[in-house]
A and B are shown apart, each in its own frame.
Chain A
């Protein structure tokens, strides 16, 4: 059985000094998963790194939710393309 590490949404927001509504909006756009256990909202620790990135986008760079969504998709594509470049380079090495 896989152990899940969770942090309560309220604790996370308090320690980062951000509004709960912001995380809920991210959840509505599908960028963040919220786990509900006995009516308490929790965030999975695995997504915290990505979530902190969204916080920086929103609060430090003044990028709205639509912008965050777009950037996230584009960064995902950049990442996939970089992985593909690595794979292609490795295949090219066969002929070097």
Chain B
């Protein structure tokens, strides 16, 4: 635990008047307030620091104690005890500090000097802070609606992940964020999904794309081929004289439409025609005949 220079955090000097402190705090709060910097962990950390600095320096009693003990915070408790003892024995009433219970995030340094959190000004009911979490899914997991248990701050929450969720999409779980302040409602939990790439299927929105190998003979003469889809195997007719890189669309074999049961995108198959290798002399001869015909 290290000494925290609240004056430095607010960018003011030790002789700053209350008005200067308020102005400096407001200026920095506008810059780092979490509402103005969504999903920015650095801004949140900075905001907590300037909040803590303001909490101490805007309160004359706390500021006095901070100025008095400042760098000697480790001995603050001892000094306070001795002071209290002296005041008690002389019959006067001690002006001891009693910490509040707003439950904000304070540094260890703050806690060591001032105990718990202090008064944050207006006693307004605020909803708690929102939490953010990330869940990694395989493409096949995102294909079907399923349930998953997530652990947030040692609490297990069972959530339903709807089929068709997008990579990078965020869903809100109401009331599972941090507890409200002064009796306000709880914050929300925001879960962002990271969906891994699939080795065969590429996804774009509700459509899937796949490149499937086709042997030369089936490409030339046509035929039937069985391919894998996320929905199982499908038999597909191949037209005679199918060209390399030509495409076929399998309607409804793509990805489910998010929150629209029974609706699916398409699967677009690109044929990759493979030329046979290791031909026998006889086969080569046949190709020569073919080329001359």
Contact = CB atoms under 8 A, between A and B. Distances in A.
Interface of A: 15-18, 49, 52-53, 55-57, 59-63, 71, 75, 78-79, 86-87, 89-91, 93-94, 96
Given A56-B35, A61-B29, A61-B30, A49 B127 contact: yes
Contact of A93 (B29, B30, B127, B197): B197
Contacts of A49: 127, 188
Interface of B: 26, 29-30, 33, 35-36, 38, 121-127, 166-169, 188, 197, 202-204, 209
Contacts of A52: 126-127
A57 B35 contact: yes
Contacts of A18: 124
Nearest to B30: A61
Given A56-B33, A90-B168, A93-B203, 14 more contacts: A15-B125, A16-B125, A49-B127, A52-B126, A55-B124, A56-B35, A57-B35, A61-B26, A78-B38, A86-B166, A86-B169, A90-B203, A93-B167, A93-B202
Pairs A-B, 4 closest by C-beta atoms: A86-B168, A94-B202, A53-B35, A61-B30
Given A61-B30, A94-B202, A96-B197, A17 B209 contact: no
